[in-house]
Amino acid sequence: MTSEISLSTVPAHTRHGSNIGQPLTRRDGVLKVTGAATYAADNHPEGMLFAVMATSSIARGRVVALDVDAAKAHPGVVDVMTPAHKPELAMDPDAKTNPFMFRLDLLQNDLVRYAHQPIAVVVACSLEAATEGAALLAPRYEEEPARVGLDADESFEPAAIGIGSPARIERGDVEAALAGAEHRLEATYETPAQYHNAMEPHAIVAAWDGDTLSIDTPSQGLAMAQGRLAGLFGIAPENIHIRSPFLGGGFGSKGLVSGPQVLGIMAAKLVGRPVKLVLRRDQMYGPVGHRPPTRQTLRLGFDGEGKLSALHHHAKTVSSTFDDFFEPAADISHTLYAAPAILTSHEAVRADIGTPLFMRAPGEATGSIALEGAIDEAAFACGMDPLAFRLKNYAEVEPISGKPFSSKALRECYRQGAERFGWSRRTLEPRKMRDENGYLVGWGMGTATFPALMFQAEARAVLRRDGSGVMETGAHDMGQGAWTALAQIAADALGLDLDRTEFRAGTSDLPDAGIAGGSAHTATAGMAIHNAGADVVAKLAALATGDERSPLFGAGNAGVVAREGRLHRRDDESRSEGYGDILARAGLAQIEGKGAAAPDPSAQETYAMHAHGAVFAEVKVDPDLGQVRATRLVGAFAAGRVINPRMVRSQFYGGMIWGISFALHEHAVMDRRSGRILNADLAEYHIPVNADVPSLEALMIEEHDPHVNALGIKGVGEIGITGSAGAVANAVWHATGVRVRHFPIGLDDLLVPAAA
Ligand code: MOS
């Protein structure tokens, strides 16, 4: 198996000089559109068998019988893995030693904790035989009533929400501020369960060779996956080789190793042959995470001029009965609006569901639609335009921490977004605008924000005598453009043109690139690349400046600039030398450097770090049928330095479409009697198609943030949902005068007697 994957395809647009900032097309685009890109399930090693999971049709109880004999008797079936017949694990799948470790269902017993939980795995010579074998298992259950939804059980305050954040944070005295406020507003918003629905299902091809494990599987976090699997199977992490060059979407659901992936590896061990296991679409509605439902109550206090004095954001959410993931929905209220008294609080219940997990803007997406709705309500209550209300209350320093923002261009986002949209022509009163066909027209807005995070990463850089360079880091491209944007950073870091830069990523044998999550991958892996380039260039410069035969002799490291494969004296750029000449004279074939990245603790102590934005939406509503169409969205986002404007715009579009989806389409419908999701497929689980998204514009607001990292990069993957979902919902209110506080907004919510 080749352990390294690299892309040397030259993109359509290359420019000599600075690669960062160029709108290059995806370097992996041609591979993808021609079908040459290999996704995990495209790998078929010699002797491979097919595994199919049997999953539970009940949500709670135990499996009392499986007809293993019938399955085994089916032609082509090789083995059936059950709690009674499976390889030993080195670690209890229910053990939890850190907050990033989630409990897995690996056939450890006969208990059923949620619908679609794996209860057996059938391995066969063909997918068809394995599928038929799984059906023949005909499980019998001892069923208990399923506990479902936000009122499933007694609620409690979680010890922590998200990853280790406090459930309750207060600044000032919110109750006193509310009691003393001129106006008070209380509104409760509900958001439904949502599922990631990445186009590529979770898949794994696993092959054992003694104690060495090779796997093809989509991963947003290769090093973490290696560590997790090493613990479960009791082997050294370096004995696990994971290839994940391309992901067909992830959105958080491929951030951590999931149970089904581990079952594929166990099945391969059981039968002693390579095994492929791919989830069916419906099997993705259980064991691989989801966005849990929330019920959020906003309590606002403000004066007659619309100045906020109190903000209480309370969120109730749901976790599984056996693990802890609590959607931090109220924490969005820490950042945006400057009330002198702010309280965020959370409570939760446990239900018979698979453990919820990170889903694109976990917490911010759910919290934002409720907060932006309540802000919109408050603006109308004091007769103010929602933009004027936001401008009056938006925070100059982060309200909850009191820290200044590391940089902030939100006012500019509001200004440019509003101007581009034409916001000044909006009526204050709802249900007053119509188009030429008589449809009700509504305009709404929302503020967007997402933290500028960084994790830890490493990279390795090589400069070669032939004038080319290599940059290696185990980065992940789930469609967002990492192959392209990180290669651009690599080329600049090496002082080379992109076509002389080989960028290697997507496998666990390379230096740890951190996790492609938290909108932090470009900043994190990018900074490791930047530093590795600086290291190798410094070594090369030392060779030249210390050699009297070099035109750079005596320049000193600080006095040299790397550009287009040459080092130039900073004080006299006409004096330069090519990389190849320097290495040749030193008798070296190549020279190597290393770099690491991590957040800067002193900058994080001093500043609040966030990206910001403003989204403006237009909807049209059929006054007779209540049918809603989102017809136009304009978003303006300030997210630090833009590495590739084409990729970044595409991320903003993707986020904005999720916003439309959140407001108008997505909803996992739970059967309250069985605890099963009724629409566990892409036909019934609605997401926007092209016809639902007629016009999007994303403005990139220039922002130089010197504090987030040396490159000034903030994330763009998640911010687009925040703001957009609320903007669409607020536009529906403005069109109709009906304030719907649950999502998705359906036409049945809007069928009210028309105003005379
Ligand atoms: Mo994301 S939910 O940080 O992959």
- Please report the pLDDT score of residue 2 as a whole number: 38
Reported pTM: 0.96
Helix or strand run (H / E) with residue 366: helix 364-381
H-helix or E-strand spanning residue 610: strand 610-621
Q: What distances in angstroms separate CA 515 from CA 158, 361, 429, 523, 526, one per listed residue?
A: 26, 15, 46, 11, 12
- The 3-state DSSP class for residue 276 equals strand
Quick one: which H or E segment has residue 539? helix 521-545
Query: What per-residue confidence (pLDDT) applies to 558?
Result: 60
N-term to C-term CA, the chain:
72
Q: How far is residue 656's CA from residue 666's CA, in Å, rounded to a whole number?
A: 14
CA distance readout (Å), 397 to 105, 273, 319: 44, 59, 33
**Residue among 288, 450, 718 to mutate when testing ligand 1 (max atoms within 8 A of CB):** 718
Strand spans (E) along 164-217: 169-171, 183-191, 203-209, 212-216
Residue 255: CB within 6 Å of ligand 1?
yes
C-beta of 362 in contact with ligand 1 (< 6 A): yes
Ligand 1 atom 4, closest CA: 252
Q: In the prediction, which pLDDT does 554 show? A: 87
| Contact of 123 with 43, CB cutoff 8 Å | no
Query: Cβ(351)–Cβ(152) under 8 Å?
Result: yes
CA atoms within 13 A on the CB side of 208: 19
Look at residue 31 and give its three-state secondary structure. Answer: helix
Q: Is the CB of 358 under 6 A from ligand 1?
A: yes
Q: How far is the CA of 318 from the centre of ligand 1 (A)?
A: 19
pLDDT below 70 — which residues of the chain?
1-17, 557-558, 752-756
- Residue 445 Cα to ligand 1 midpoint, Å, equals 24
- DSSP helix/strand/coil, 724: helix
Judge if the beta carbon of residue 655 lies within 6 A of ligand 1.
no
The residues annotated as belonging to the active site are 718
The response to whether residue 608 sits with its C-beta less than 6 Å from ligand 1 reads no
Q: How far is CA 435 from the centre of its chain?
A: 37
CB 635 less than 6 A from any atom of ligand 1: no
Half-sphere exposure of residue 144, counting CA atoms within 13 Å on the CB side? 12
Q: Is 479 a pocket residue for ligand 1 (Cβ < 6 Å)? A: no
Closest atom of ligand 1 to 253 CA is 4
Q: Residue 398 in contact with residue 487, Cβ under 8 Å? A: no
Q: Which atom of ligand 1 is nearest to the CA of 362?
A: 2
Distance (Å) from CA 377 to ligand 1 centroid: 30
List the Cα angle 543/549/553 in 5-degree steps: 60
Residues 624 and 615: their CA atoms lie apart, in Å, by 28
Q: Is the CB of 514 under 6 A from ligand 1?
A: no
Ligand 1 mean position, distance from CA 737 (Å): 35
Atom of ligand 1 nearest to the CA of 518: 3
- The number of CA neighbours under 13 Å toward the Cβ of 254 is 28
Return d(Cα 203, Cα 280) in angstroms, integer. Answer: 10
Structure tokens, 712: 């000034």
> Which stretches does DSSP call E strand in 565-691?
566-569, 576-578, 590-597, 610-621, 628-638, 670-671, 676-677
Ligand 1 centre distance from Cα of residue 743 (Å): 21
Determine the pLDDT at residue 8: 45
The pLDDT assigned to 557 comes to 58
Q: Which residues pair with 636 in a beta bridge?
A: 614, 699
> What is the spatial distance between Cα 683 and Cα 249, in angstroms, rounded to a whole number?
18
